Structure 1
Amino acid sequence: MPAGPSRTRMDDLTVERVLRVVEAIPPGQVAAYGEIGAIVGVGPRLVGRILRTWGSGVPWWRVTSASGDHPLLARALPHWETEGIEVATHGRGCRMAHFGADLEELRERARPALAELDEA
């Protein structure tokens, strides 16, 4: 099936763009899959797939669901503890209102790394 408006082809550039945005999330903050996708121009599921396959070298523990839940919370906890991210009382993740990265600030932090890719 060809890539179209509702379906994004996962190419090397898309993978690298997602990874660079994840690298731009500040320590002690998290961003949702959909927020990263909005910056890159892909859907949240593709962001998750990219992180699952190629994300071991970036701070994957800073990426959560929109509600702050983390699918690998047990593995993320040591990183969260180091960075001061606290688990919410429900025990599935953190409070986005407290630890969520500002989306515009994240866009700005990621801009130089994404511009490098556009120039290459």
Structure 2
Amino acid sequence: MKKLGGYVLGFATLILVSMAWFYMKGSTLISGDTDKIAFAEIVSGVRTQKLTRLPGGIFFAFPRIEGGIETICRQGGQVKAGYATPHLHTRLVARVDGTCVKFVED
């Protein structure tokens, strides 16, 4: 029984350390009606960082650079919204707007 308690304590510690790391790392997330979005990235001058499209249409990244969030829609439109920086969390919610999307910060 004593051995089981050690495993539970180790697992709980691992979960807490992982949560603290994620919180301090920061994130950029685009959710909502993302079907019309073909590509999303963080842009800072000449440097860019692509957001990864995850299952369910969510775009996600741990920002390594500081800059604006830009999306390119499947119909060719481009939308700039939000700002991403390391160590902070940015979440944008996409809503359908004609052939592209508009964003609401959450």
> TM-score under structure 1 normalisation?
0.26
Q: Of Structure 1 and Structure 2, which has the larger fraction of its residues in strand?
A: 2
Give the greater-gyration-radius structure (CA): 2
